[in-house]
Amino acid sequence: MSSTLSTKHFLGAPASSDGPARIGSLHSSSTLPSRSLHLPARRSQSKRLEIHASGNTFGTYFRVTTFGESHGGGVGCVIDGCPPRLPLSEADMQLDLDRRRPGQSRITTPRKETDTCKIASGIADGVTTGSPIKVEVPNTDQRGNDYSEMSLAYRPSHADATYDFKYGVRSVQGGGRSSARETIGRVAAGAVAKKILKQYAGTEILAYVSQAHQVVLPENLVDHETVTLDQIESNIVRCPNPEYAEKMIAAIDAVRVKGDSVGGVVTCIVRNVPRGLGSPVFDKLEAELAKAAMSLPATKGFEFGSGFAGTFMTGSEHNDEFYMDEDGRIRTKTNRSGGIQGGISNGEIINMRIAFKPTSTISRRQNTVTRDKHGTELIARGRHDPCVVPRAVPMVEAMVALVLVDQLMAQYAQCMLFPINPALQEPLELSKNEQAQKSL
């Protein structure tokens, strides 16, 4: 996927030093320096470069539209359909935005943005009003150089070429191009969704890095019943196991100094999820989660429960037997179902893994073609994330939260008009006592 967490800046030198990239002879197969397309360094980029506004809407009941571009006022989102009377302030969002922002550590892009959010509408006297909530994050790391050269070369594994194919207009200027900065709106909206879920049912959504390049965290080293946000946030790679965190950081550092990048995997779990979320056919809960996760930039795969590994098992090994727990609740002894059966949550921990490719922006020479169909070479220089997964952690949490709150509202609309059937159902929300107990 072309839209990565990198800052997507390229360094090169123009074909001649006195003007914008003159590329020399067409279709030249030579390897002369003059054939190499040198793009200006990031610091000196033009305002036109970063116009990649791309808005769109996610969700049916809790609808999030992200908007914005890197060069103008800023980025953000509009949340439509939020429940009224929910206490909410910028602080609720800032925590996750800080986990997402660039420049937070040496293994993320050094680009500096504070990503300070402002709620522009939808809140009065500290509570939501039921009106659309508009959240804005101003841009502070503006750049001021002409970037027209960049538009000439299609960056490998980015969206440059496909945007042109689709829209027939240049994407770099004026929009279209997906940027990691677009995910700010998702993270802000996700924070609202998380707060609703937490307040409603004590639901906790936690993601962490379980693989960076070839460092794979063994599954049994993290207890999904007890892992905490603090453990995850205790190191810059967001792996709750300190030993493997160090290994991962070392692996990222190793490629970072070479100007290369690596991929990784984010694991996400949900505890205290209400039973009964999701629906049985096309809109299965796992299908919604897969779409949500795979809509993040740079994703390559999604699995939940036993995942791809489960395909190697037999049914008798794989099935989750039911039993009654001490509290008289129907539970499963194992959780290869990943908390979802028949498209509907069963109350067990939902777990999933999302694969992220290595960042497409690298400081290495690459062959490519220009927009007008000539071969060229490209060397990006500047700032990019050597590995996207540490910053992807809050993005994954946000998308999962958006799916769950949407499904919770769907469940309310369809199934809560009339009293529940206590013989078969439990209340969706936990009492305060239960929440307290569960969080012990």
CB-nearer residue toward its own copies: 229 or 284: 284
Q: Which of 17, 314, 433, 440 binds its own copies (CB under 8 A)?
A: 314
Interface with its own copies: number of residues (CB under 8 A): 176
State in angstroms the smallest separation of the CB of 156 from its own copies: 4
Angle at 51 between CA 296 and CA 365, to 5 degrees: 70
* DSSP H or E stretch at residue 286: helix 285-294
Between residue 152 and residue 171, which ones bind its own copies under the rule CB under 8 A? 154, 156-171
Min CB(97)–its own copies separation in Å: 18
Binding mask 360-399 for its own copies (x = CB under 8 A): xxx-x-xxxx-xxxxx------------------------
Out of 44, 56, 140, 228, name the contact with its own copies by CB under 8 A.
Answer: 56
Helix or strand (DSSP H, E) at 205: strand 204-212
Q: What is the DSSP string of 12-25?
A: ---SSTTSS----S
Q: How far is the CB of 393 from its own copies (least distance, A)?
A: 15
Sign of the CA dihedral running 245, 251, 254, 256: negative
Note whether 53 binds its own copies by CB under 8 A: yes
* Cβ at position 253, least distance to its own copies in Å: 13
Does 250 interact with its own copies (rule: CB under 8 A)? no
Does residue 28 contact residue 35 with C-beta atoms inside 8 Å? Answer: yes
218 binds its own copies (CB under 8 A): no
The CA distance from 194 to 97, in Å, is 13
Q: Which among 208, 181, 226 is positioned nearest to 53, based on CA atoms?
A: 181
Q: Please, where are the H alpha helices in 202-236?
A: 229-232
Give the max Cα distance, the chain: 80
Using CB under 8 A, pick the residue from 23, 123, 191, 239 that binds its own copies. Answer: 123
For the chain, the distance separating the N- and C-terminal CA atoms, rounded to the nearest angstrom, is 41
Output the CA torsion sign for 249, 252, 255, 257: negative
* Contact between residue 368 and residue 10 where contact means Cβ atoms under 8 Å apart: no
262 binds its own copies (CB under 8 A): yes
Count CB-CB contacts under 10 A for residue 221. 12
* Contact (CB, 8 A) for 388 and 298: yes
Q: Which is nearer to its own copies, 34 or 366 (CB)?
A: 366
DSSP state of 102: T
Query: What number of other Cβ atoms are within 10 A of residue 56's Cβ?
Result: 12
Site string for its own copies, 4-43 (x = CB under 8 A): -----------------------x----------------
Could you give the CA distance from residue 87 to residue 36 in angstroms, rounded to a whole number? 55
Among the candidate windows 56-64, 93-101, 106-114, 221-229, which touches its own copies by CB under 8 A?
56-64
- Cβ at position 433, least distance to its own copies in Å: 17
SS3 call for 185: helix
- Looking at 18, 125, 223, 327, which residue binds its own copies (CB under 8 A)? 125
Q: Of 9, 52, 111, 271, which one interacts with its own copies (CB under 8 A)?
A: 52
Binders in 292-311 for its own copies, by CB under 8 A: 292-295, 299-308, 310-311
Which residues between 406 and 425 bind its own copies (CB under 8 A)? Answer: 408-418, 420-421, 423-425
Stretch that binds its own copies, among 16-24, 30-38, 104-112, 192-200 (CB under 8 A): 192-200
Choose which of 40, 102, 176, 240 interacts with its own copies (CB under 8 A). 176
How many Å apart are CA 249 and CA 259, to the nearest integer? 15
Determine contact, residues 268/354, Cβ cutoff 8 Å.
Answer: yes
Owner of token pair 């550590």: 105
267 binds its own copies, rule: CB under 8 A: no
Nearest CB to its own copies, comparing residues 93 and 408 = 408
Interaction of residue 178 with its own copies, rule CB under 8 A? yes
Minimal distance in Å, beta carbon 228 to its own copies? 25
Shortest distance, position 50 Cβ to its own copies, whole Å = 11
